[in-house]
Amino acid sequence: MTRENALVTAQWVEDNLDTPGIVLVEVDEDTTAYDKGHIKGAVKLDWSTELQDQVRRDFVNKQQFEELLSGKGIGNDDTVVLYGGNNNWFAAYAYWYFKLYGHQDVKLLDGGRKKWELDSRELTDEVPSRETTSYTAQEQDHSIRAFRDETVEAIGTKNLVDVRSPDEYAGRLLAPAHLPQEMAQRAGHIPTAANVPWSKAANDDGTFKSDDELKQIYSDAGVDWSKDTIAYCRIGERSSHTWFVLHELLGQQNVKNYDGSWTEYGSLVGVPVVLGDEKGEA
């Protein structure tokens, strides 16, 4: 995967608003943002109610995902262009999720909703009606999803990239300042994990930095490009942003997103945890 395949510009989206076979999908942390205005033709995806199992902590299953996309009017052959607020955090999460269930043609709008708004491009409150499809998903592709045991085994052997803020990494905070301080039982980070906050990869307007700049950032943080990589954050959405950078923009092989992330790891019994700004030993 390369930048050209995975990312589209706001201008490209504007030029293709009426192109058949392209479906815009908005995914926001603030799930009411879409209702206040969205890009013409875009359908809404609610990450908290539609992409999460409402009983267990897990994703919706294959059949539920098929029903979801069919109901949204998204077909297997459609080009899905995802965008959202908060610098595309949840749009990147949905991108990874679509890939997890094997959708072939997915793209991210560079800069997301913010870039679109800063460009003074048009938003509408008109909700499109799309004909129901009969979507067929693939089994989950676990080559891009890490679970807890694999993450524990990766300590000292694979690249672990903690994309949370420095204060969360060091254990001074359990959640980003400004958001509710909740979830994990313990603060800190996984031993040997490099701290590369997701925001390092983005410009102020939410667009991604150049490939050369991105490579430099992760190299400086000690990422060994010859090794497999697992990215994590608190609940797996910011690390989807980093997974997108490493796997989709830079074309790095064997990059997984650990969606259990710190809310799971920081509540596990018996696993090693490091406090402070240093990576710690395996």
Partner 1 sequence: MCGAKKGGLSLDGVDVAKEAIIQGQVVRDGEPVGNAYVRLLDRTGEFTAEVPTSATGHFRFFAGEGKWTLRTLAPRVEPVDKLVHASVGDVAEVTIPI
Q: In what order do the strands lie in the sheet with 106-109?
A: 7-8, 106-109, 79-83, 22-27, 43-45
Residues that bind partner 1 in the complex, under the rule CB under 8 A: 33, 85-87, 114, 117-120, 165-167, 176-179, 197, 199, 204-205
Handedness of CA 96, 256, 47, 242 (dihedral sign): negative
- In whole angstroms, how close is the CB of 223 to partner 1 at the nearest point? 19
β-partners of residue 41 are none
Residue 29 or 67 with smaller CB distance to partner 1: 29
Could you say which of 23, 69, 170, 233 is catalytic? Answer: 233
Q: How many CA atoms lie within 13 A of 60 on its CB side?
A: 21
Shortest distance in whole angstroms from residue 74 CB to partner 1: 27
- DSSP β-bridge partners for residue 274: 189
Tell me, yes or no, if 191 is annotated catalytic.
no
Report the nearest approach of partner 1 to the CB of residue 167 (Å): 8
State which residue, 37 or 102, has the beta carbon closest to partner 1. Answer: 37
Q: Which lies closer to partner 1 via its Cβ, residue 86 or residue 252? A: 86
Closer to partner 1 by Cβ: residue 141 or 277: 277
Listed in sequence order, the residues at least 6 apart from 47 whose beta carbon sits closer than 8 Å to its beta carbon are 27, 28, 29, 31, 90, 93, 94, 237
- Identify any residues that bridge with 146 across adjacent strands, giving them in sequence order: 258
C-beta closer to partner 1: residue 67 or 167: 167
Residue closest to 242 by CA, chosen among 177, 181, 193, 171: 193
Residue 220: CB minimum distance to partner 1, A = 15
CA atoms of 58 and 14, how far apart (whole Å): 35
Instruction: Report the nearest approach of partner 1 to the CB of residue 63 (Å).
Output: 36
Going by C-alpha positions, the residue among 67, 8, 77, 74 that lies closest to residue 42 is: 74
> Would you please indicate which residues are annotated as catalytic (active-site) residues?
233
